[in-house]
Amino acid sequence: MASGFLRRHSASLMLAPAMLLLAVFFLWPVLDLVRGSFAHPDGSLGQYERVFSRPAYVLVLQRTFLISGLTVLICAVIAYPVAYRLATASTTGKLVILAVILIPFWTNLLVLCYGWLIILSPTGTLNKALTGIGLIDNPLPLSGNMAGVLIGMVQTMLPYMVLPVAANMARIDPRIPQAARSLGAPPLQVFLRTWLPLTMSGVIAGGLLVFIMSIGFFIIPAILGGTKDIFIAQLIEMNINKVLNWGFAAALSTVVLVTTLVLYGVGVRWFGVDALWGRQ
Amino acid sequence: MNGIPKDKTPGGLLTRRGLLSGAAAAGGVALAAPYYIRPAGAQSAGRVIYATWGGSWEEAIRKAWFEPFTAATGIEVVTAQDNTYGKFQSMVESGTTEWDVVEVNPDFTFIGAKRGLLEPLDFTVINREPIMEGEGFVTEYSVPQVLWSYVLGYNTDLLKTAPSGAVDMFNLTDFAGKRSIYSNPNSSALETALLADGVAPGDLYPMDIDRALAKLDEIRSDLIFYETNAQAQQYVSDGTAAMLIMPDGRAMSAIESGAPVAIQYNQSFMTWSSMVAPKGCPNRENAMKLLAWTMTPEAQAAIANAYTYGPVVPAAFDMIDEARANILSGGPQQQGKFIMLNAEWWAENYEDATERLTEWRLM
């Protein structure tokens, strides 16, 4: 009896310590945060009324989602061929590609930002080189605007796109495109009708991951961005550490949390994102 | 001269913000364990725990203040890091106050008092007599620590004539080039806009934020925001911006490193850092003794000679040579040219001003 119980529930039992840790140190604080967002002298929805009535917050949320969305699109376009190469390369090739992707990933974010600033600024390395060889007359506006933010964010987020897509590609049965080819499909057809549909779930999984992480960004938009590039995390931090309005910070955080959960739900329900974490 | 960059303005500590970016999005504030440094051979007269901005500043106050203080009193000064307001509040509210003295920006002397987070200071131990006059400078709960200023820093390669002050910040015809201001609203940009719009220095507060933002409209297309003081120094040095409202220490660092940068002290805004004691601090008596020590002319001269901040005790200038005094906030070069930032007004209006500046930036 007892051994039967242990055998049947061995996986759950082994997971229990981790679950307990998450419950105490993650789930409970998050619930406490959400609860805190409903504590307001003007009624339980007072904080949320302010989030949606002052233009500042709606505009910043729009901006945060817009730039995060663009980051996903650019990452997808850049990551797709890299992931293909990674999935199909030899062991040495894999190591080289992984190193190239992961070294900037391990670099301190501030170092990375200031590095980009030196390269991208109007008097920076890149613009000096381009004007020097006569390719352009006036420096390109590559920092202090959305272009700067996107360059920084795409570089940082690229591994989160490449790795899921490559993992997905590695699982595809190579006989499927082979079959398409042997039946006379031209390369473009093979790609569009077998390879692309089969890899879409990897792209969407990577995209969700990138989007969810991007909306929490702070440093990159602040340093490489322009006047309009304010992310919601900056306003949350101000409320926590400058004006000590934790209830309002909690409401802003809850808005971001709910958005993330809804997106994840959409990914699981319609795009099979959970396949990425091992569901068959 | 000591060219240590300063990073004490709000939000200047990027490492902290970097850590917070993830945590804030997830909604939690990670409370890192305090990092205590214990000097060897500490005496038994007890100790006092001092929460600091850290870095090169901490090294400077250790040499200028703590070492002589410990030698004279036997009280050991233990430093702690991560002196954020958020951590301050969570400590006091949970009854686990570990700090005795905390370095803060002056707005917190009002925000903290309003929220009941501060211990009243004992002015029978601390002599407030020699401290400079100024509104909100000394409060029931705080003493000022050192002075610094927001000045007009400009790139001399781009601007051949020196701008005269606030009006030229908005004169794009004679002083063409990008302008840059701090992304935090309480960094004297709004005040400068009002001065340029004709408001007398004495009538700045309570501030007409709408009028200030309307004035900023005039330079909107040439305005860039900096997020860290290091960035301001980079902008003025490489010419990304021609004219900036920036901390004096950062402008001086740029000059010392050989960049084509100069400072206009006209209509500069003087501000300061403060020291407070959190409610329920474990070593209250020692905290008062340490604060008293730092308010002596000798201690103020020692820190002003070590770091480019001005002394809050004017008598300290007697112990500072002329060349040094000229580059310090409150020194002879700045006399008659500066205006004091109103910390109390900012403590009450920071949130509203941030919302309006954010809306201005996005609309």
pLDDT of residue B363: 81
Domain count, chain A: 1
CATH number of the domain residue A178 falls in = 1.10.3720.10
Chain A closest-CA separation from residue B329 CA (Å): 25
Entry pTM: 0.80
Note whether A99 and A159 are within 8 A (CB): no
The answer to whether B70 and B77 have CB atoms below 8 angstroms apart is yes
Q: How confident is the model at residue B40 (pLDDT cuts 50, 70, 90)?
A: very low
The secondary structure of residue B42, as a DSSP letter, is -
pLDDT digits (tens, 9 = 90+) for B254-273: 999 999 999 999 999 999 99
Cβ–Cβ gap A237/B21 under 8 Å: yes
State the Cα–Cα distance between residues B295 and B289, nearest whole angstrom.
10
Q: How much is the pLDDT for B3?
A: 38
What was the pLDDT predicted at A276?
60
Q: What is the pLDDT of residue A139?
A: 86
A14 in a structural domain:
no
The CATH H-level (homologous superfamily) assignment of domain B149-270+342-362 is Periplasmic binding protein-like II (3.40.190.10)
And the tokens for B93?
A: 């509210």
Across all residues in chain B, what is the average pLDDT? 88
pLDDT confidence bin for B32, thresholds 50/70/90: very low
Q: Is the residue at A9 inside a domain?
A: no
Portion of chain A with pLDDT greater than 90, in percent: 46
Closest chain A residue to the Cα of B348, Cα to Cα? A243
Residue A24 lies in a domain: no
What's the pLDDT score for residue B1? 37
Determine the 3-state secondary structure of B303 from DSSP. helix
Q: How confident is the model at residue A107 (pLDDT cuts 50, 70, 90)?
A: confident
Q: pLDDT over 90 for what percent of chain B?
A: 80
Beta strand residue intervals within B248-328, DSSP E: 261-276
Give residue A43's pLDDT.
Answer: 75
Give me the residue from B24, B89, B231 closest to A223, CB to CB.
Answer: B231
pLDDT interval class at B5 (50, 70, 90): very low
Instruction: Look at A267-271, B28-32, B144-148, B206-210 and tell me which has the smallest mean pLDDT.
Output: B28-32
- pLDDT surpassing 50 at residue B27: no
- CATH node for B14-147+272-338: 3.40.190.10
Over chain A, what is the mean pLDDT? 88
Judged by CB atoms closer than 8 Å, whether chains meet at B10 and A242 is answered as yes
Calpha distance B250→B269 (Å, rounded): 15
Helix A246-271 / helix A28-36 crossing angle, nearest 10 deg? 120
The answer to whether residues B363 and B217 touch, using CB atoms and an 8 Å cutoff, is no
* Prediction ipTM score: 0.78
Half-sphere exposure of B40 (CA within 13 A, CB side): 0
Q: Say how many C-beta atoms besides its own lie within 10 A of residue B20's C-beta.
A: 23
Give a yes or no: residue A204 inside a domain: yes
State pLDDT tens for residues A228-249: 899 999 899 888 888 888 899 9
DSSP track, B218-241: TTGGGEEEESSHHHHHHHHHHTS-
Token readout for B143 is: 């003493």
Q: Residue A176 domain-assigned?
A: yes
d(CA B66, CA B57): 12
A205 close to A271: Cβ distance less than 8 angstroms: yes
Helix or strand or coil: residue A106?
A: helix
In chain B, which residues fall in CATH 3.40.190.10? 14-147+272-338, 149-270+342-362
pLDDT of residue A278: 55
Q: Which residues constitute the domain of residue A244?
A: 46-277
Is residue A53 one of the residues assigned to a domain? yes
**Pick the residue with more confidence: A46 or B166?**
B166
State the average pLDDT over residues B138-166.
96
Check residue A266 and give its pLDDT. 84
Closest CB from A29, A55, A110 relative to B28:
A29
Residue B23: list chain A partners with CB under 8 A: none
Q: Do B359 and A236 touch (CB under 8 A)?
A: no
pLDDT band at residue A1, thresholds of 50, 70 and 90? Answer: low
* Minimum distance, in Å, between the CA of residue A228 and any CA atom of chain B: 5
